[in-house]
Structure 1
Amino acid sequence: MTKIALFGAGGKMGVRLSANLRRSEFLVAHVEPGPTGRNRLKEELGIECVEAEAAIDGADVVILAVPDTLIGKLSHELAPKLRAGTMVMTLDAAAPFAGHLPDRKDLTYFVAHPCHPLIFNDETDEKARRDFFGGAHAKQSIVSALMQGPDDAFDLGEAVAKVIYAPILRSYRLTVDQMAILEPGLSETICATLLYVMREAMDETIRRGVPEQAARDFLLGHMNILGAVIFNEIPGAFSDACNKAIEFGKPRLMRDDWKNVFDRAEIAESIRRIT
């Protein structure tokens, strides 16, 4: 039986993983230093934590479900105690991309990250429709990278990823660099920023006198139909008026060199700030 040592098991992400792993065939040892997290695991899932030494003893996979800023410190503390061939799995590409993992060629490094449930989906169950994060009820895709280790180790890493992020829609194999382009590049620097601007724009329309609920319904409704057309969910074309608004609005809002945020140097600097 494959043994997994889950560090940060009582954190926000760790509890999600613990719940899914509990339903798997993996043998799991949970590590959580904080009393609040330990109590949460015991009360919500009936899981007792163990000490780090016991968790990594015989572990095939070590999952680091801890903040990016702690990945380097924790991985360097654990590395000397891990046997050759052990897989160290992180849930984000930031720390591996930044070079924070120990220089041990005999360890396998694997990165797995959720895409989160799609805006356009076929979920009919109410819990699934309200599962915006994923990993509980709604299907989501995942991206994974084998940073180092034998190629056949990818199968084990993907199998674990499919359990911790279940239910799964699709699974993609990428490189760590490609994962870094997706996050923080695409998802945070671009998507989160522009969505934040859209929220600020809605608040500005309210400040200028539009009723709050009307502004919200109008914006979210237009996000739905405009997104469906732009991302080819449905056949369609914008009106001449809308096309004109985009033509004049884009240079008003966006710098000409905005795509430079995807340059490796800018991705690296963004990750440096994160980690």
Structure 2
Amino acid sequence: MYLKNLTYVLLCSLMFFQVGCKRNKLQKSIAEIPKSEIDTVDSLQIEEVLNFEIIESDFDYLKLKSKIDLQSEAISQSFPANVHIQKDSVIWISVSVGIEAARCLITQDSILCLDRINRTYYSLSIEDLSTQFNFDFDFKLLQALLVGNLPLDRKPGDRIEPNSLYTSLFQNANNISIENQIDNVTHKLNTILAEDVQGKSKLGISYADFIPLLTGQLVPHSIFTKIDVLKGDEIKTTTLEFKHTKFEFTDQKLRFPYSVPKSYTKGEIVF
């Protein structure tokens, strides 16, 4: 394993898991939207956007097992990962190759990683991650991508565009422009195309091989992700492919163990 850049692997991995859960049709009437917003957007368009059905995830705790394949200019590596998620709170990732090689913890404002092989720890803020990837991330966006929900809440000003196989929901926030493609039959999100207009970085995620669980939830077992980051005058491309082997939804509390041994030294993250 390319342990020198293992933290880079984990940081990429945080953004691209996807799971499916119960049907969740957004219910919001035009009366709930401030009149000042309605005055600037066609009321029929608002109603169409807010009432279009999308099946989104709703859970307390989630356990995942996955095999991840990472390809970039610096790394070509495959490895297994265990993931624990507490909704709206924390994401925990453990990578093992016989023994645990690395561990990573995301909170609302920070990312912490341990490289157990080289006895090194790393830390950075969500703001630092945005700067490194030239893309405006936050915890809510990362979690939404992990669980397969819309990266942004629906709001007046969003736009719906029907197609034969899927319906596109276009959204904008801060510097990010997003097209969400929702399957017309399953009403599951199957593609996200995002671009940081200011930073010129692009993110694409596609979900495939949807399989129903015994609980009735529909989950994808294959995920392909591509990140194009503008560094100077060059485009740096990273691809990630996920093969999920286990989904476990639970209302029982999960453990998120993370502590830095005194013998570890602080390292610098290499992107």
TM-score range, shorter-chain basis? under 0.3
| Between structures 1 and 2, the one with greater helix share | 1
TM-score normalised over the length of structure 1: 0.26
Larger Rg: 1
Greater RCO, CA 8 A, separation 6+: 2
